[in-house]
Amino acid sequence: MAAGWNKLDGAKALVDSGIDRQFLCQAPRSEALSSRSGAPRRRNPGDRCLPAAGFQAYFIRSQQGGRNRRAAGCEREMGLLPVINHGIGSDLTRRMLAVAHEFFQLPLAEKMVSYSTDIDAAVRYGTSFNPLKEVFLDWQDNLLHRFLPERQDQPHPWPTKPSSYELIAGEFVDQAKFLARHLLRALSEGLGLGPDYLEGEFGEHNVALRLNYYPPCPSPELAIGLSSHSDVGGLTILLQDSDIVGLQVKVQEKWKTVRSVPGALVINIGDQLQIYSNGKLKSVEHRAIVNADKARVSVGLFYDPASDVRVSPIPKFVDTEHPAAYNPCVFRDYLKNLYSKNLVGKELLESQRK
């Protein structure tokens, strides 16, 4: 294991602890050495590198699906919506991505101030999805903020470093929330409901902001950045680093890579909208892959029903031909279920099926 590293320290800390020493390469010795700059060496297809113990926490599934991860870009029929004229200024999206990078560059101890295993914590820093349970970790570290309606009378405990974080992330949350509401109204009308219907169902609504950081990975074909999942709530507004691909969507059992267009946002439908619409809307199965060259960040704003809302198919979508397909579930319980398991595609939603 990398000296002094433990799995809760996360992917960036493992990379920082010295990639070069972690690989026992069976390639010719001269090739096996990394470049003098210390930058991860690009591997040749013929290399047989065995990751040492620290990396084995991530290098998984090693034999599965490697080729798929490099699938060509395609946005048609993906079930998600890349949008450009979304009203969030390019200056703000650029600053949001920059401050996210800055956050993850902080020393580990400063990020760990926000480490918590409490899923109700307002701010939570960590690695992977459920590192205490997973055998193989996702190659990413993350910071999650939850803005719960029941806490709206308390100031949000923003991380104090980087110093511009609160201002930039606060502005991004406000604008992305505004956009999410607008989209929810449009979806509601598109379903033949009144424009405020879905918003009414969501109640006081939950908002969460998640920053994902994927450090460069010496063997990207052996790791996954974020395991396959669908977002569990209502709508997700996702901002990703320009010109670094990572997001993939499952379309007809194949992984398609989503192009990363500067300033564009990707809108995702979450599980609760599939339940409300009794399957008329479908939550999108997606994942993130990693690359050997560049760290990537993504920032997701999740606009979800309030925790105490009981979600079930809307009566308009239920009749004898279309019986209710899902059991009702209080959103808080759905989230608890999520965090008690590992991320596995749409299994959680499937377990809600009648």
Ligand X SMILES: O=C(O)CCC(=O)C(=O)O
Residues lying near ligand X in the complex (CB under 6 A): 210, 212, 226, 231, 238, 240, 246-247, 286, 288, 298, 300
Q: Name which of 240 and 307 has its Cβ closer to ligand X.
A: 240
Q: Name which of 41 and 286 has its Cβ closer to Fe ion.
A: 286
Q: Name which of 22 and 228 has its Cβ closer to ligand X.
A: 228
- Total number of residues shown for the chain: 354
Nearest to 290 by CA among 243, 218, 222, 225: 225
CB of 210 to Fe ion, least distance (A): 8
Binding segment for Fe ion (CB under 5 A), chosen from 102-110, 133-141, 148-156, 229-237, is 229-237
Contact call for residues 78 and 250 (beta carbons, < 8 A): no
CB of 201 to ligand X, least distance (A): 22
240 binds, among Fe ion, ligand X, none (CB under 5 to 8 A by kind): ligand X
Q: Name which of 249 and 275 has its Cβ closer to ligand X.
A: 249
How far apart are alpha carbons 157 and 43 in whole angstroms? 43
How far apart are alpha carbons 50 and 41 in whole angstroms? 14
Q: Name which of 201 and 231 has its Cβ closer to Fe ion.
A: 231
CB of 32 to ligand X, least distance (A): 31
At position 178, the amino acid (one-letter code) is F
- Determine which helix (DSSP H) or strand (DSSP E) holds 100, and give its type and residue range: helix 90-105
Nearest to 117 by CA among 305, 327, 339, 273: 339
How far apart are alpha carbons 227 and 50 in whole angstroms? 22
CB of 35 to ligand X, least distance (A): 28
Give the residue at shortest CB distance from Fe ion: 231
Contact call for residues 228 and 349 (beta carbons, < 8 A): no
- Structure tokens that stand for 190 in this block: 């598109």
Please pick, from the candidates 134, 201, 231, 241, the single residue that binds Fe ion as defined by CB under 5 A: 231
CB of 124 to ligand X, least distance (A): 13
